[in-house]
Structure 1
Amino acid sequence: MPNNSVTTNTVKLGKGFIFYCSKKQLLNGRHCIELNHAEREILCYLIQHSPRVVSKKELINIGWNQKEISSTSLFQTIRTLRIKLKEEEKGQVIETVPRLGYMIKVTAIEPVNLHNENIIITNKSKNKFNYTHLTVVILTFFIISAFLYTFVNKETSYYHKISYDHDNNTFIYLTQNEDDLDFLQSYSKTYITPTEMDNKLFFIAKIDKYYSVAFCDKNQQGTCIPSSSRAVTFDQFELELFWPILSSHTNYIQTISLFNDENISSTTAKTYNLYIEGGKLSPNLVQSSLQKISNLKWSFSSVSYKVNNEKTEFIPVYFKGGEFTLFKTDTAPFIAEISTKPKYFNWVISENELERSGISKPGKIQNNFNSTFEKQKKHTSYIVFRQQELILWFSKDLGFYWFNKDKIENSNFSELSNFEKCKDIIGLNPQPNCENN
């Protein structure tokens, strides 16, 4: 049987990386990047079969040579390759195609060796129709179409998994990539959750290059004690720092009393988020007020506060506002979808005043989200969990964030609590009289 495979000798990947398949060697300039056996074989195999989508089964067979391993090992190898190739965004070099496998983006190809002796390429007649070019055009069309279809649908596709342990802890994992579920479950005990804890509820998400963790202490009913709710968002390079920073940063606990201050209006909810950026923990408080416009539509305004270095005072930094509308959703595991239309964004104090007040500037994650307001760009978020006085929202741009207001039924937030009352896909907070609905 003739061999129709094409072996690519030299390719350019990402920003300045060269890979030599004949030597299975990755270079960045004159610097050789160290690769283990699985990384070398998988990278070369992806390149040789580019632009085809390569299945997970193929990559496991080529990377571990008849050894029985789980898909988690493949995912970790792909993740390590992405880090070594300095992907600034997931999929920049190695693209995940949900349910199918992976494909690599080769930006430049140098001379190739064709190992099919039965193929003869000739240019004797310029008028002769070139079927090879036509085949390439057709294949390119289908690949682009498949990629666009995946991209469009990726926005509304999420995967989740629920697990429990013997200490009455509950873990809900959420991703846009099915492979990430195994990774989150395998590594959460190592990097995210402490070794000694009990009676907690954790939501752990990985979206693109960001991680987000929301957690609380459980009450007797198995739901959250509102004052214990926290949410932390950080990028992939801060993963190993998550719990050590949170555990050692005891001063941030002083800000909880500020957060729990009830001297605010009944129509205001509070969001208390933490960010890990550059190895530092940055507390952020948002107070939001609502005004109902029509059925399931509100205008809102919010003030964001940053805590000073002494952890004794929250100082207003910027305010923003707009409108949002509540919708039903079929996207699991969410209860409802929220479409937000930003209308304004203004800084309260200048960067110099921030520095004089001993306040850290908002980091990259917060600035990325703030830019949606500055550019008045619509964005979507979801309600993933709720109880009477507490709602957990999720946005792929910002991660998890709690809306906390005791006696929420007495404010303009009441419809958020009652909307789709009997819908609870995760099943953490069953409502009475809903079993037959």
Structure 2
Amino acid sequence: MSQAEQIKFPTGVCFIPSLGIIKSDNATQELNQSERCILNYLLAHSHRPSTKQALIKAGWPEREVTEASLFQVIRSLRIKLQESKKGEIIETVPRLGYQICHFEVLALGELPHDKKTNKSSRTKRISYSFLAVICVFVIIIVLFKYESSPTLNLQDFHSRQISLDTNEILVVGKDDDVLDDLTSKMNALYQSYNALHSPRILENHRLYIYKNEDIYSIAWCELDDDSTCIKGTDLSYSMRLKDWPTFENYILSNEGELKDTAKIQTDFARQPAAKVFLNYIDDSKIQSKVIHYFISNEPNNAFKYSSISYIANKNSKLHHVLSIKAANYQAIPTDDIPNVMAYIKITPEMFHWAYQPNKTNSLNQSSLALENEKHEQVIYDGRQVAFNHLLYHHNHLSLIFCEKSGLYWVHATNEQDVLFKTAID
């Protein structure tokens, strides 16, 4: 492309190839080397789709990288090009790659070379400089208040699909060593289970397992002939790393399932739009948590929600209120992250403790349920925008991945609910 050209996109954003920058009415952003090379390649080959392999070669000519690196660059470019909806500029071509079709090539405006600057133009520059300082100041305030990062948690993680006979398993972790560990643990548990139980019970299941620095989290459901989760067969468990043997013994003993019909102590009469059931295996007295979501639709596939969390100890099925939260969320579709259907952008508004833990009770201090709630309090109090990920969705049932707390199922009250449907259609 000519050094004197700029590329204007339908969003009003302009790309100046010679400078490697993207300009809009209110911002100028410099692209990194990979972003610059990939965007140039897409523009140069706009007459046909560019394959993922070709884009990887263009973006990292002397390095070997995975498709995850390409997904990250495409996602970053979508944000910088200010796509209001996915595919507005960078179109995804299923099973092939990406393409940019809509843009126009314009001449760069002539830069002033006259060193004689009159008072009027000097005054304008001073005014613009003042406005720029004010804008930077406002941006700093907003960032300080929201600490919103556009980084999506799962981009730093790897996933792998494996099969054990008729069972499908997705393992998720930060690197291949973690995936190898999870694969080994699932193989060992599966072989031990089959050795103890005959005929084989664990068949036609979809399982998800995740590990971070603190916990294992595992979720599963039984599949019907259409590979859809059968209602009522979904379960999830979270545990500290040291408690994996306890979980293994629990599964191998075939003692039953922790999830049951929670007896909620509340005066609220309104039926929640969705429910979450969480099970914990730890040394505390708190073994389960239930969350009720009250949701209202907003424009542009966004939602407002308030939620009430309840906990129960091992000696009682009666659940007591733990906390009350309010936030906005938006489900945004993606095929740029392997095995993820959409990411869920959560903008916190309010957090309130209803539960007063007993500080002298060491068992409460070891509770994963309370630890996760304290982590959420920090996010909500700091107004930090967070991202979760949608791994499965069908009618009434969705599986969510959260980097901190792991995996959990969301049950819509209405079996044809559209909590995340707009993000995957």
Q: TM-score range by the shorter chain?
A: 0.5 to 0.7
- The counterpart of 1:309, out of the listed 308, 314, 319, is 314
Give the direction of change, closer, same or farther, for the CA distance of 1:360–1:264 in structure 2 (3 Å limit): farther
Unaligned 5+ residue runs, structure 1? Answer: 1-97, 100-151, 422-437
Give the direction of change, closer, same or farther, for the CA distance of 1:418–1:316 in structure 2 (3 Å limit): same
Q: Tell me, yes or no, if the aligned pair for 2:243 and 2:282 is still in contact at 8 Å.
A: yes
Which residue is equivalent to 2:407?
400
Q: Tell me, yes or no, if the aligned pair for 2:273 and 2:413 is still in contact at 8 Å.
A: no
Q: Find the aligned partners of 2:354 and 2:337 in 1 and give their Cα distance.
A: 37
Give the direction of change, closer, same or farther, for the CA distance of 1:248–1:319 in structure 2 (3 Å limit): farther
RMSD, aligned α-carbons: 3.5
Q: Tell me, yes or no, if the aligned pair for 1:172 and 1:203 is still in contact at 8 Å.
A: yes
Q: Find the aligned partners of 1:213 and 1:289 in 2 and give their Cα distance.
A: 26
User: Residue 352 of structure 2 aligns to which amino acid in structure 1?
Assistant: N
Which residue is equivalent to 1:160?
159
1:375 CA drift (Å): 3.1
1:165 CA drift (Å): 2.2
1:265 CA drift (Å): 5.1
Instruction: State whether structure 2 residue 395 is matched by structure 1 residue 388.
Output: yes
SS in 2 for 1:188: helix
Pairing 1:272-351 to 2, within 5 Å after superposition = 272-278=277-283, 282-329=287-334, 330-351=336-357
Pairing 1:48-197 to 2, within 5 Å after superposition = 156-166=155-165, 168-190=166-188, 195-196=193-194, 197=202
Q: Which fold has the larger relative contact order, with Cα–Cα distance below 8 Å and residues 6 or more apart in sequence?
A: 2
Q: Find the aligned partners of 2:217 and 2:411 in 1 and give their Cα distance.
A: 18
1:365 CA drift (Å): 3.6
Unaligned 5+ residue runs, structure 2? Answer: 1-64, 67-150, 195-201
SS in 1 for 2:203: coil
User: Residue 164 of structure 1 aligns to which amino acid in structure 2?
Assistant: S
Q: Find the aligned partners of 2:378 and 2:405 in 1 and give their Cα distance.
A: 12
Instruction: Describe the superposition over 1:15-35 as per-residue Cα deviations: whole angstroms up to 9, x where unpaired.
Output: xxxxxxxxxxxxxxxxxxxxx
TM-score (norm 2): 0.54
Q: Tell me, yes or no, if the aligned pair for 2:263 and 2:318 is still in contact at 8 Å.
A: no
Q: Percent identity?
A: 17
SS in 2 for 1:156: helix
Instruction: Describe the superposition over 1:181-223 as per-residue Cα deviations: whole angstroms up to 9, x where unpaired.
Output: 2221112233588613223221011233322111122233222
Give the direction of change, closer, same or farther, for the CA distance of 1:369–1:240 in structure 2 (3 Å limit): farther
Q: Tell me, yes or no, if the aligned pair for 2:287 and 2:313 is still in contact at 8 Å.
A: no
Q: Tell me, yes or no, if the aligned pair for 1:306 and 1:359 is still in contact at 8 Å.
A: no
User: Residue 326 of structure 1 aligns to which amino acid in structure 2?
Assistant: A
SS in 1 for 2:317: coil
Instruction: Describe the superposition over 1:48-101 as per-residue Cα deviations: whole angstroms up to 9, x where unpaired.
Output: xxxxxxxxxxxxxxxxxxxxxxxxxxxxxxxxxxxxxxxxxxxxxxxxxx99xx
Q: Tell me, yes or no, if the aligned pair for 2:301 and 2:422 is still in contact at 8 Å.
A: no
Instruction: State whether structure 2 residue 416 is matched by structure 1 residue 416.
Output: no
TM-score (norm 1): 0.53
Give the direction of change, closer, same or farther, for the CA distance of 1:205–1:353 in structure 2 (3 Å limit): closer
More moved, 396-405 vs 236-245: 236-245
SS in 1 for 2:424: coil
1:156 CA drift (Å): 1.7
User: Residue 231 of structure 2 aligns to which amino acid in structure 1?
Assistant: P
Q: Find the aligned partners of 1:195 and 1:281 in 2 and give their Cα distance.
A: 27
Q: Find the aligned partners of 1:154 and 1:298 in 2 and give their Cα distance.
A: 21
1:316 CA drift (Å): 1.5
1:179 CA drift (Å): 2.4
Give the direction of change, closer, same or farther, for the CA distance of 1:175–1:415 in structure 2 (3 Å limit): same
Pairing 1:252-291 to 2, within 5 Å after superposition = 253=258, 256-258=260-262, 268-278=273-283, 282-291=287-296
Give the direction of change, closer, same or farther, for the CA distance of 1:239–1:207 in structure 2 (3 Å limit): same
Q: Tell me, yes or no, if the aligned pair for 2:171 and 2:209 is still in contact at 8 Å.
A: yes
Q: Find the aligned partners of 1:367 and 1:192 in 2 and give their Cα distance.
A: 34
1:401 CA drift (Å): 1.1
Give the direction of change, closer, same or farther, for the CA distance of 1:354–1:297 in structure 2 (3 Å limit): farther
Q: Tell me, yes or no, if the aligned pair for 1:327 and 1:336 is still in contact at 8 Å.
A: yes
Which residue is equivalent to 1:364?
371
Q: Find the aligned partners of 2:254 and 2:376 in 1 and give their Cα distance.
A: 25
Instruction: Describe the superposition over 1:271-297 as per-residue Cα deviations: whole angstroms up to 9, x where unpaired.
Output: 111122337771111111111221121
1:376 CA drift (Å): 2.7
Instruction: State whether structure 2 residue 216 is matched by structure 1 residue 211.
Output: yes
1:324 CA drift (Å): 1.2
1:341 CA drift (Å): 1.2
* Equivalences, count: 264
Q: Find the aligned partners of 1:156 and 1:376 in 2 and give their Cα distance.
A: 22
Give the direction of change, closer, same or farther, for the CA distance of 1:389–1:193 in structure 2 (3 Å limit): farther
Give the direction of change, closer, same or farther, for the CA distance of 1:173–1:364 in structure 2 (3 Å limit): same
User: Residue 345 of structure 1 aligns to which amino acid in structure 2?
Assistant: F
Q: Find the aligned partners of 1:257 and 1:280 in 2 and give their Cα distance.
A: 19
Q: Tell me, yes or no, if the aligned pair for 2:161 and 2:168 is still in contact at 8 Å.
A: yes
Which residue is equivalent to 2:242?
237
1:402 CA drift (Å): 0.7
Q: Tell me, yes or no, if the aligned pair for 2:286 and 2:311 is still in contact at 8 Å.
A: no
SS in 2 for 1:290: strand
1:230 CA drift (Å): 1.4
More moved, 236-245 vs 273-282: 273-282
Give the direction of change, closer, same or farther, for the CA distance of 1:252–1:229 in structure 2 (3 Å limit): closer
